[in-house]
Amino acid sequence: MSEQPHVEIYTKTDCPYCEKAKDLFDAKGVEYVTYNVTGDPETFAEMKERANGRETAPEVFIDDELIGGWDDTHELDQTGELDEKLGIEDGGEVAGDVEEHRKLIITGTGIAALTAAIYAARSNNDPLLFEGDEPGGQLTLTTDVENYPGFPEGISGPDLINNMKEQAERFGAELNHGVVENVDDSERPFRVELANGDVYTADSVIAASGASARTLGIPGEDELMGYGVSTCATCDGAFFRGEDMVVVGGGDAAAEEASFLTKFADTVYLVHRRDELRAEDYWQERVQEHVDEGDMEVLWNTEATEVHGSPEDGVESVSLVRNPAGHPSEKLDDAETESFDLDVGAFFVAIGHTPNTGYLEGTDVELDDEGYIVTQGGTGGGQTATGVPGLFGAGDVVDYHYQQAVTAAGMGCKAALDCDAWLETEADLAESEPASGEAPADD
């Protein structure tokens, strides 16, 4: 590395994306200076001025050049531009050369991936994990986790993930910031290609890259994620007991989460952009029961346009637009729509998940219509095996139903055990085969 540039990171307290930014530079061995803007108006004003008026964190600067937030920094890292700005040499390696061979590569560093890594490392299977686009998975966006067994007082999502990382690394697992772009299962060992062009080979692969919750992309949503905005009602609903809450969506997930939240909310407002739910009859009936009981109200033909609040005070209100004549997103005259604000203490988005399986397209791994991995399932060993020998699936990339941290951990454990059994079988077969040019031994 040439003379290191000056790296500055403006951060906030309890900011998972700030931790991801710091982890990225730590992994590169790059020193940096941090400025925490929480409770410091002068530093916050300085950050805002340098970041062209932006009020979110992290904000990264290299030699006084604005790099941007986590998404901007991560994108530059994947294209290699970040290393260029940092003066990191590529070592003169030829693109496509194999960096390293491993017994096991795991895609993801969420609960399922880290649990698999712990078990795999203890079995001496030398796991290498690639974090992907969302290091630590969705749990890093959850402020507090109170339903994970073993923590009677609860634990923050980032703390739980960091503890599991340390545990996996203690047993010998290795974590890498790379994003897997393609897995080639046409030959053995598997060929795993990263977005930055690096190539690894592996005897086995555990796909535990999770599913990303879909969001609306409206102002305030990202800034307040984990501070009253959530994509998991069962994870966070109890924190807002007695508050009015909004749930956005019209499918099974939205109806189920809205029904669940009536246990805690004063009133749940189910916001749906059409005039009828897409949920199955059972959930539509449950919603109607809650409406009749007075603890839920459905806002038909309505869309959320902005979430208001702050990390310090949480969600305070939501701006909505209603079009009595139909879908508000369609091109309409302003006179046909009604805009209004709703005072609420929590905002839940339940418009589905997208499994992170793009890197498996083109393989022989079976994916369902939504892109989730189809595994063997059933009882007994091999439940996490896919149709490709040596390739296993675990966590939310497989499970579209439960999507809980504890079930992801259980599936990660199963995948590591299934993988270990497969590797042992392959090793036994290799030992039993005669060497090249030799005849089998007589009985």
The residues carrying an active-site annotation are 232, 235-236
CB count within 10 Å of CB 198 equals 20
Question: What's the number of CA atoms in the CB half-sphere (13 Å) around residue 287?
Answer: 28
Alpha carbon distance 364, 124 (integer Å): 28
Alpha carbon distance 198, 78 (integer Å): 11
Phi and psi angles of residue 138, each rounded to the nearest 5 degrees, phi first: -65, -25
Among residues 133, 165, 71, 157, the alpha carbon closest in space to that of 356 is found at 133
The structure tokens listed for 13 are 């307290």
The structure tokens listed for 75 are 């994108």
Burial class, 155, CB count within 10 angstroms (exposed 0-12 / middle 13-18 / buried 19+): middle
Beta strands 65-68 and 302-310 are unpaired
CB 159 within 8 A of CB 110: no
What is the residue type of 213? Answer: A
Alpha carbon distance 437, 408 (integer Å): 47
The structure tokens listed for 275 are 């005039």
Query: Dihedral sign, CA of 350, 355, 358, 361?
Result: negative
Strand partners of residue 385? 392
The structure tokens listed for 390 are 């040596």
The structure tokens listed for 126 are 């030398």
Q: Is 166 left (phi over 0), alpha (psi -120 to 50) or beta?
A: alpha
Reduce the DSSP state of residue 162 to 3 states and report it.
helix
The DSSP code for 149 is T
